[in-house]
Amino acid sequence: MIRVTIRKKENEIVGFRSEGHAEYDDSGKDIICAAVSTLVINTINSIDQFTDDEYEVNEDENNALIDFCLTSDKPSRESLVLLKSLWLGLSAVSVQNTEYLRILSEEV
Domain span at 52: 2-107
Please say whether the beta carbons of 9 and 70 come within 8 A: no
Residues 78-104 have pLDDT tens digits of: 999 999 999 999 999 999 999 999 999
Q: CATH no. for residue 60?
A: 3.30.70.1490
Q: How many domains does the chain have?
A: 1
Q: Are 108 and 9 in contact (CB under 8 A)?
A: yes
Q: 53 and 47 in contact (C-beta within 8 Å)?
A: yes
What tens digit of pLDDT does each residue of 35-94 get? 999 999 999 999 999 999 999 999 998 889 999 999 988 999 999 999 999 999 999 999
